[in-house]
Structures are given as structure tokens and as C-alpha cells.
Structure 1
Amino acid sequence: MWTVRVERSQCIGSAMCVGVARDRFKLDADDRSVPVTSPIEPDERVRDAAANCPMEAIELRDATTGELIDPYA
């Protein structure tokens, strides 16, 4: 399982993540990205969304160990 977090202070609301993984991210009332749910099963679209975030605002971690997951791996 992965935990998904979006750092609101970094998010600019580009919605790249929503475009890549619409069922995993949404924009809130302030046009900032939020995960639809967390933790999630590992999902390569979520990894792609994190890798394509222009502000690198998406953080993925192993839900059991807390280890940071490299979106570029």
C-alpha cells in the first residue's frame, strides 16, 4: 500500500495529476490537488502523476515502512 500526500503550499493547481489519474486526484474548492483516497494499492498512474507534477508537490510513501517512493524509478 502507498500513502499519497499533496503538499498544499507547493501545489499550483495545474491539474496535471488529475489529467493523469482522474480517479486518484481531484481539485478542491481552492483549485489545489488532493488525493481522492489514501492509502491506495500501488498504481503506476499515481507514480506518473507525481513524476509529472511541475511543483513536485506529490509525495508517495510505503504505507507500512514509511519509506519514500521515488516517482522517477
Structure 2
Amino acid sequence: MKVTVNKNVCIGNGMCIGIVSEAFKFGEDGKSQAYNTDPELADLIREAEENCPVGAIIIEEDD
């Protein structure tokens, strides 16, 4: 699983961090960034993607 945050879309509201701080954190720009895509966090990462108010989280599944 590859997880990225579209910095052009992210508004830095931190919803993803609130859901799974083990996978997302704020960068120096005040916007979220993915830093841990451990497979054990996959369900929470997907929940963060679904709940992002601006749809900035992009998940690419491994083939």
C-alpha cells in the first residue's frame, strides 16, 4: 500500500491524524503527510481516506 497526501488539496485540518496518528503527521508546511504504511494500520488508513474532508489522501494498493 502506498499512501500520499496531495499537498495542493490538503487544508491541514488533521482529521487523518486524529484517526491514525501512527500513519499521518503534520509536516513543516502545516499539512498532513503519510509516514507509516504498516499493513496493520491499513483499515485505519482507509478510514482516514474516507473521512478526509477534501479528499487529499491517495491510496494505491499493491498488486
| TM-score normalised per structure 2 | 0.89
Supply the distance in 1 between the matched residues of 2:4 and 2:28 (Cα, whole angstroms).
17
- Give the fraction of aligned pairs with identical amino acids, expressed as a percent: 31
Counterpart check, 1:50 vs 2:49: yes
Note the residue ranges of structure 1 that are not aligned, 5 or more in a row. 65-73
Note the residue ranges of structure 2 that are not aligned, 5 or more in a row. none
Higher RCO (CA 8 Å, separation ≥ 6 residues) = 2
Q: Residue in 2 aligned with 1:59?
A: 58
Letter in 1 for 2:7: R
Match of 1:43, SS state, is helix
Structure ranking higher in helix proportion: 2
| TM-score normalised per structure 1 | 0.78
Structure 1 ranges of 4+ moved more than 3 A: none
